[in-house]
Structure 1
């Protein structure tokens, strides 16, 4: 193989690799109607009655509810957001660790999927997805990540 042929081949490999990197950096799995968490506020989602939207929020625990033990077990608590809207957090404790030390007044940072309801909504999918078909959610509490 001539030197010019090898250079052409390398050039095509570099171009192909560049497209591969570009494509991987722009890949988003097709999952329901999920939006970027940076572009959406819970208040606007609540007002528009939207669901199936990824959100990232911080709030203060205002109420701790009994665990939901029907089907997949969920730790449930309500947080109050800075704009005073309240949202239920439903954290699947069959897939993620339970936050045992959680108390009213504690601050939490949550990434999950918002579902509208007339009481303010629910954030769920606050855990990893064992099937890797949904973006992994989490709760950060006192510097520890629960997912």
Structure 2
């Protein structure tokens, strides 16, 4: 009896873990990444996947001009420890701009990854005023920008 119960619990747990990301995507929510950010982002890039909530860090490789079309975004290229680069698009209508940001600075992030042929984009690095999307953030020199 105990062996059967343990088997049922193990199967239910495996199904729950296996269906988690798909169920989240079906509800329109980003899937939550499991594992080191560099590995998760490399796999997402190879598979051309997006809508993945991921936490990681990298070094600013290049600052880009702010995107002022629609919602304003501070933009920069971040190089991960794996060598992969991603564009970070930080909504400065909803979160403070990082005025002191410079090439070579380390940035930690929690945001949503979207695939593109150049390496991908990290966005949703801010709170959601409507409360429908998980809040993201950027951390620079110990300060959280959300």
Query: Fold conserved (TM > 0.5)?
Result: yes
Counterpart CA distance in 1 for 2:137 and 2:34 is: 16
Tell me whether 46-55 or 30-39 shows the greater mean CA deviation: 30-39
Q: Give the deviation of 1:146 after TM superposition.
A: 0.1
Counterpart CA distance in 2 for 1:78 and 1:67 is: 12
Tell me whether 29-38 or 128-137 shows the greater mean CA deviation: 29-38
Counterpart CA distance in 1 for 2:71 and 2:33 is: 25
Q: Give the deviation of 1:74 after TM superposition.
A: 0.1
- Name the counterpart of 1:14: none
List gaps (5 residues or longer) in structure 2: 1-22
- Name the counterpart of 1:65: 64
List gaps (5 residues or longer) in structure 1: 1-27
Counterpart CA distance in 2 for 1:38 and 1:103 is: 30
Question: Is the CA contact (8 Å cut-off) linking 2:29 and 2:133 kept in structure 1?
Answer: no
CA RMSD of aligned residues (A): 1.7
Q: Which of 8, 21, 34 is equivalent to 1:38?
A: 34
- Name the counterpart of 1:92: 91
Counterpart CA distance in 1 for 2:98 and 2:50 is: 25
Q: Give the deviation of 1:35 after TM superposition.
A: 2.1
Question: Is the CA contact (8 Å cut-off) linking 1:59 and 1:80 kept in structure 2?
Answer: yes
Cα deviation, 1:111-141, whole Å, max 9, x if unaligned, reads 0000000000000000000000000000011
Q: Give the deviation of 1:31 after TM superposition.
A: 4.9
- Name the counterpart of 2:129: 130
Question: Is the CA contact (8 Å cut-off) linking 1:58 and 1:108 kept in structure 2?
Answer: yes
TM-score by length of 2: 0.78
- Name the counterpart of 2:116: 117
Question: Residue 114 and residue 134 in structure 1: after superposition, are their counterparts in 2 closer, same or farther (change >3 A)?
Answer: same
Larger-Rg structure = 1
Tell me whether 29-38 or 90-99 shows the greater mean CA deviation: 29-38
